[in-house]
Amino acid sequence: MVLFLIQLIALVLWSVVNSSLLNFNDQEEKKDLIPPPPNIENFTAGFSHQMADVMWIRSIQDFDYCENEIAKQRCKGNSWLYQMLDATTRLDPNYRMPYAMGALALSIIISDIEGASALFDKSVIQFPTDWKILYRAGYHALLEEKNNLKAAERFDKAADHGAPKWLKGMAGRLYNKEGHKEDVDRLLAELSASEENKWIAERMKKRIQKGE
């Protein structure tokens, strides 16, 4: 109990300091936020879920914080926000919100592309049947990573678990671009087997034939 109290006090102090520490540069106020301690999950004394909640609440207070901008609207990898979200998901691996919303914040709000990729990769492993996470992870792979095959696999799985079936068509075109003919044939067969989805298969065939 004494050990837990010491750890809890340390966490509270870290949170307070993290919230209030300011550097002043050229008379402009600039936050200098402190990332979580390494291996924080080893110091929870059985209260990892509660600590994860604290970390998540702290993270969303500064979703737009980028401490090291390497280009216009592009944050350097391993950002403060990524470290906070990574620690949160280590403390509570089943905490869906940091995966679903945190990865989007990294990708869209501060453009920590490397951090977003790492968190999306964790998310699809932890939630392999969550189509919304798979769908978002697929678009990140397509638009930010420029990885057609990775995007195709995620769109394909998303459509298997509740996403709109037209994602199968998108996955097929991406598979085709990467020369994965066996996956294209598999998708066409799956879609053609259902009366409801035959039109998607036909559109997919036409677009592939046009080289789109």
CA dist 87 and 203 (Å) reads 44
Binned at pLDDT 50, 70 and 90, residue 158 comes out as very high
End-to-end CA distance of the chain: 63
Segment 37-90, tens digit of pLDDT? 888 877 778 889 999 999 999 999 998 998 888 877 788 888 999 999 999 999
Instruction: Assign 179 to helix, strand or coil.
Output: coil
25-31 mean pLDDT: 48
Binned at pLDDT 50, 70 and 90, residue 1 comes out as very low
195-206 mean pLDDT: 70
Mean pLDDT of the chain: 82
Domain limits of the chain? 1-127, 129-212
pLDDT at residue 171 tops 60: yes
Beta bridge partners of 143: none
